[in-house]
């Protein structure tokens, strides 16, 4: 799985600054973070609807779209996937309830 996501990240980063007419990634990046965030939200809703409908195939397809758009958002905001993984590592072993409570402090 990591190799696939690493290749996805590399492809997205390679298309930063490319001609928006030649690349969907470049087109998304040219439209800016608010547009990318909207697309990410749409994909999250579509994934949730597929899950609510218990449509396994649609969950797989929509999850791929969701991960793709999340990676584009990270690229637009100069967030390295390793930074997100480090945050997950930091949270490992912490109760989700305790972690949420700590955010309020």
Q: Does a structural domain hold residue 8?
A: yes
* Domain housing 49: 2-79
CA distance linking residue 36 with residue 72, whole number of Å: 7
Is residue 39 situated within a structural domain? yes
Tokens of 104: 């309020």
User: What local confidence, expressed as pLDDT, does residue 30 receive?
Assistant: 97
In a domain, 104, yes or no: no
pLDDT value of position 103:
73
Is residue 58 situated within a structural domain? Answer: yes
Cα 69 to chain center, whole Å?
Answer: 5
**Per-residue pLDDT of the chain in tens (105 residues, 90 and over written 9):** 589 999 999 999 999 989 999 999 999 999 999 999 999 999 999 999 999 999 999 999 999 999 999 999 999 999 999 999 999 999 888 777 876 777 776
Q: For position 54, which CATH number holds?
A: 1.10.287.1080
5: its two tokens: 């996501």
In a domain, 103, yes or no: no
CB-based contact 36:78 (threshold 8 Å): no
Domain total in the chain = 1
Amino acid 105: pLDDT: 61
Residue 1 pLDDT: 58
d(CA 46, CA 48): 5
């Amino acid at each position: 799985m990591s190799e696939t996501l690493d290749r996805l990240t590399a492809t997205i980063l390679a298309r930063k600054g490319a001609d928006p007419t030649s690349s969907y990634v470049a087109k998304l990046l040219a439209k800016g973070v608010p547009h990318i965030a909207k697309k990410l939200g749409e994909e999250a809703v579509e994934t949730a609807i597929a899950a609510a409908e218990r449509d396994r195939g649609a969950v797989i397809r929509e999850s791929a779209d969701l991960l793709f758009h999340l990676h584009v958002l990270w690229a637009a905001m100069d967030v390295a996937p390793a930074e997100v993984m480090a945050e997950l590592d930091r949270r490992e072993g912490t109760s989700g309830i305790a972690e949420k409570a700590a955010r309020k402090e």
